[in-house]
Structure 1
Amino acid sequence: MPIGLEATAARRRRNPLDGLDPDPSVPADRIVSLVPAASEILFAIGAGGKVQAVSHACDHPPEAAQRPAASRTRLDAEGSSRAIDEDVREAVDEGEATFEVLGEVLHHAQPDLVVTQEACDVCGITPVDVRAKLARFEPGEGPELMGLHPHTLADVLDQIRQLGEATGTAEAAQRLVGALEQRIEAVEAFASDRERPTVAVLDWIDPPMAAGHWIPGMVEAAGGDPVLLDDASPSTYVEWDDVEAADPDVLLSIPCGFDARRALAEAEAVVEPDDRLPGLPRERVVALDAGAYTSRPGPRLVDGLEQIACALHGPAARQRWPEQATRVQRLG
């Protein structure tokens, strides 16, 4: 048996389907990553060569998008915020997933590790979803499952270390974490003695949803005060009256999975016709590329952190992070 397949078999024997904590003594050799952030991390820490298949949403780095897709969406991603939300609610009401795991691709990849997530049961692939597709593996020979569940920026750094341990790339993972920590500390130092604007962050626009998980903590680190949710809270539907009552200095539009132009267009379509937030200058309605920099709990969250600092602190921040400043879109 080739060395790689021998290690794969040994890893499966150590911890088959009933566990979510891979044995780091036998690094994973063949990986299916069903989480876009995990795919980004794996390639960033030098484990990209082990990735055999990815999810339909894994598009960064470009090498990840070249892997076979082991899932597909059931949503019309080109629909409006309202239409997508209605489709999601209907799927939830009927007990259906918004995506499909492709068992044939999963089995063909012959993974010893499948990476999923446990932070969102609606828009992300969970261990439960994958288990249903693993019946083709012999008992005790299926891959290990790793379910990532970050809720804060610190959790995201921890999951980078976790993936490093699972793939035999712990040193590279720690180097990446160290570099990200330095950038986070630089933003915090920059913002420490500046005025702190209040910020309402929406990770869905129609209907509005207050952004939770790691987003409030990112706003705080960038020198703002989040007004709708605290750090690590799950994202929650709100009413526009709640947003108006919070009277934010800045409205940050980051609909999950949308790029900056679409996020800004969605905000404009909802805010302008009904003259919502009349006291908020339109140049303080800001959008970022959520699909790249805020929705996915991976290394590029730190890019998003620097972009939020640029959105909140004007020319000084834009001079400090000129490349990130170009990615910030404003309504006015």
Structure 2
Amino acid sequence: MTVTGADGELTLDEQPEAIVSLSASATEMLFAIGAGNQVEAVDDNSNFPPEAPITDLSAFTPNAEAIAEYAPDLVVLSNDQNGIVDALDALAVPTLLLEAAETIDDTYEQLETLGDATGHAEEADEVVADVQDRIDAAVESVGSDAEGMSVYHELDPSYFSAGSSTFIGSVYALFGLENIADEAAAAAGGYPQLSAEYIVSEQPDLIVLADTLCCAQTAETVAQRPAFDTVPAVQEGRVLEASDDIASRWGPRIADFAESVAETLQG
């Protein structure tokens, strides 16, 4: 089987049986498509699903020798930190680089690529279809009710946000939401730092907190911020306390996220 990643074509002569995943999103994908029993080790951020064989391997400071100790016949990565791809190539370790998705279609493509690479093409197609159906149903359940509504996506309490050009921003676009970060996003690679005053002045109808795990932010803490009690999202109970992990990964749980956005919009 020949598959293509950001590091070029990779030909696998046999179904891999000792996969190392250095990408939390790829780990979730591998288990979702039924390749979990082929996964030998995952990095220290791959905390889902619970049965993933988490190790102290780092995706941010990867070490080729440490990875090679697991005798992998496939390593899946989301970035080429420290030239890790070349380092693994020098050790004759097959690598598949699947970079961060920019759109939901990228998620579907990566699921299918991993399905081909691991011998689970049919299961991958089923996962893609399920995620598509769930997202479509979530968007349809809101319908025109979200027309003209705006969203503020919070990455941390210092007001870093995500615009429509980002992966998570593309989800809000499906609902027809106006993203208050868009005016500043272009100059910040899609992830601008806003101010409290600006957020309040934009009066977002939906606030999504992607800093509940890292920073203990809740609807209650938001309501306690100066002037945030004047924001429609706070007044009308449309503050979504999202999991940082789900909101930052491009795996199949993006369907869970879309459903929670729909539920919050509907009150």
Which residue number corresponds to residue 69 of structure 1?
56
1:274-329 superposed Cα distances (whole Å, 9 cap, x missing partner)? 334634434333321122x2111111110010001111112xxxxxxxxxxxxxxx
Q: 248, 256, 267: which is aligned to 2:204? A: 248
The TM-score normalised by the length of structure 1 is 0.67
Runs (5+) with no aligned partner, structure 2? none
Paired with 1:191 and 1:296, the residues of 2 have a C-alpha distance of: 23
Find the aligned partners of 2:168 and 2:258 in 1 and give their Cα distance. Answer: 9
Superposed displacement of residue 184, structure 1: 1.4
Superposed, 1:193-208 pairs within 5 Å as 193-196=144-147, 197-206=149-158, 208=159
Give the RMSD, CA atoms, in angstroms: 3.2
Q: Which residue is 2:75 aligned to?
A: 114
Equivalent-residue separation in structure 1 for 2:257 and 2:174 (angstroms): 11
Matches within 5 A, 1:1-332: 19-23=7-11, 26-64=14-52, 66-71=53-58, 99-117=60-78, 126-129=79-82, 131=84, 134=87, 139=90, 141-196=92-147, 197-206=149-158, 208-212=159-163, 213-222=166-175, 224-229=177-182, 234-255=190-211, 258-259=212-213, 262-264=216-218, 268=221, 272-276=224-228, 278-280=230-232, 281-282=234-235, 283-291=237-245, 293-314=246-267
Give yes or no for contact 1:30–1:50 (8 Å, CA) kept in 2.
yes
Aligned length: 257
Task: Answer yes or no: is the 8 Å Cα contact 2:19–2:38 preserved in 1.
Answer: yes
Deviations 1:167-221 (A, max 9, x none): 1211110011011111111112222232432111122222x11124222222233
Separation in 2, partners of 1:23, 1:149: 22
Give the letter aligned to residue 37 of structure 2.
G
**Structure 2 CA distance for partners of 1:176 and 1:279, relative to 1, 3 Å:** closer
Identical residues among aligned pairs (%)? 26
Counterparts in 2 of 1:133 and 1:154: CA distance versus 1, 3 Å: closer
SS in 2 for 1:155: helix
| One-letter amino acid matched to 1:239 | S
Q: Distance in 2 between matches of 1:129 and 1:68?
A: 19
Contact 1:101 1:133 in 2 (8 A): no
CA contact (8 A) 2:142 2:265 kept: no
**Deviation for aligned residue 1:223:** 5.3
Cα distance between partner residues in 2 of 1:302 and 1:244: 29
SS in 2 for 1:193: helix
